[in-house]
């Protein structure tokens, strides 16, 4: 109960405004544009990153190019397992500037094009001999949802590449509002820009459906190849 009380207290500002998308935001803040900037570019990056991870996991876990030592292929990716946007920000910023994507909608697409945690997960999944591409589709959907949700909450990358007010994302708009005098007069609904209620319901429904219909029946076992799946 104490833990739930602490979590509820921490989430209260967001829960209070989650259904009031936009509220009385100051002039110059377009709710529709902010929602698109927040969720569409990370979705593009997540689809590509999880897609490549699924292909790589199938190649390593199912095709077994090195036999029983195929998982060794994952070692070069190990240093990047928990790396976020930060260490890649400078290289990504220079690439965006060279391609003319600075301060543009395309520039908002996160620079991560391969999800390393998803690559490891798919490798373990496809290692089971009975795993097929069709059975991996719900797992791919779950990985996509998680990567998309986390990427959409990033503040660093939009801050680096988007200086125009028309390219504000939800988290970045919230930071701007929190550090300006505009919030002194209210600013209700600003917290809802980070995760609007319709998207919250979508993610919740998708996770519940995957949990009930897929994850409860999923088991990934590790062992020797001769032990079978």
Regions of the chain short of the pLDDT cut 70? 1-4, 7-29, 129-131, 179-191, 216-229
Query: So what's the pLDDT on residue 41?
Result: 95
d(CA 68, CA 225): 7
Which pTM was predicted?
Answer: 0.80
Query: So what's the pLDDT on residue 12?
Result: 64
Q: Compute the C-alpha angle 14/82/106, nearest 5°.
A: 65
Q: Which residues are within 8 A (CB) of 190 and not within 5 positions of it... i.e. 6 or more apart?
A: 17, 23, 25, 173, 174, 177, 178, 183
Q: CA dihedral in degrees (14, 17, 23, 29; nearest 10)? A: 20
């Amino acid at each position: 109960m104490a833990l739930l009380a602490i979590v509820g207290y921490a989430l209260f500002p967001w829960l209070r405004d989650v259904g009031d998308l936009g509220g009385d935001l100051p002039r110059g803040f377009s709710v529709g544009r902010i929602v698109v900037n927040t969720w569409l570019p990370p979705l593009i990056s997540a689809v590509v990153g999880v897609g490549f991870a699924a292909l790589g996991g199938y190649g390593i876990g199912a095709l077994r190019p090195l036999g029983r030592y195929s998982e060794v292929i994952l070692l070069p990716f190990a240093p990047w397992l928990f790396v976020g946007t930060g260490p890649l920000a400078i290289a990504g910023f220079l690439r965006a500037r060279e391609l003319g994507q600075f301060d543009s909608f395309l520039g908002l697409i996160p620079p991560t094009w391969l999800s390393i945690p998803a690559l490891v997960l798919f490798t373990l999944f496809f290692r089971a001999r009975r795993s097929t591409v069709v059975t991996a589709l719900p797992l791919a959907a779950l990985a996509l949802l998680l990567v998309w949700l986390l990427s959409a909450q990033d503040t660093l990358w939009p801050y680096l590449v988007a200086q125009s007010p028309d390219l504000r994302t939800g988290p970045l708009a919230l930071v701007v509002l929190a550090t300006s005098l505009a919030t002194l007069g209210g600013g209700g609904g600003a917290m809802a820009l980070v995760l609007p209620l319709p998207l919250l319901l979508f993610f919740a429904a998708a996770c519940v459906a995957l949990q009930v219909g897929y994850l409860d029946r999923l088991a990934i076992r590790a062992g020797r190849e001769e032990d079978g799946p």
